[in-house]
Structure 1
Amino acid sequence: MKCRMCGFEFDETKLKNRGCVDCGKHSNCNQVHCPNCGFGNHPELEKEFDFIIKLKDRFKKRKSAN
């Protein structure tokens, strides 16, 4: 997984408790926390973020072509 905040790549399956440090704000958190910066990434939203990145790249290409 690649952290959407800092770009650090890590294997989420090797993290103890999905990188969570038990903040106490909520239970059964579905986030995977980056071991580098602590940002909570949502694995189920990975496809949506990939789509947004591809869309942004397409707009950048169009803008640079004009």
Structure 2
Amino acid sequence: MMKCSFCGFEFDEKAPGSASCKGCPMSGHCGRIRCPRCGFEMVKPSGLLKRLLGRGKSE
């Protein structure tokens, strides 16, 4: 799960509509994710950051 840093909406980053610009030649390779609610684009968090954030929630 990912939370939009603009509107606060939580969504699955692999859900349809969360991929960045479909018409762009860098589509899917730029590391950005688009919020399905507001359209705000943000950088996809790294695997290390996800693991660190995930540990904080389970403790």
Q: TM-score range by the shorter chain?
A: 0.5 to 0.7
Equivalent residues of 2:13, 2:33 under 8 A apart:
yes
TM-score by length of 1: 0.50
The code of the aligned residue for 2:41 comes to: G
The code of the aligned residue for 2:8 comes to: G
Moved over 4 A (4+): none
Gaps of 5+ in 2: 50-59
Give the structure with the higher percent helix. Answer: 1
Gaps of 5+ in 1: 48-66
Separation of aligned partners in 1, 2:17 and 2:36: 11
Aligned length: 44
**Percent of aligned positions with the same letter in both sequences?**
36
- 1:33-52 equivalences under 5 Å are 33-44=34-45, 47=49
SS of residue in 2 equivalent to 1:32: strand
The code of the aligned residue for 2:19 comes to: G
2:16 aligns with 16
Closer, same or farther: CA 3–44 of 1 in aligned 2, 3 Å:
same
Give the structure with the higher percent strand. Answer: 2
SS of residue in 2 equivalent to 1:20: coil
Separation of aligned partners in 2, 1:32 and 1:21: 9
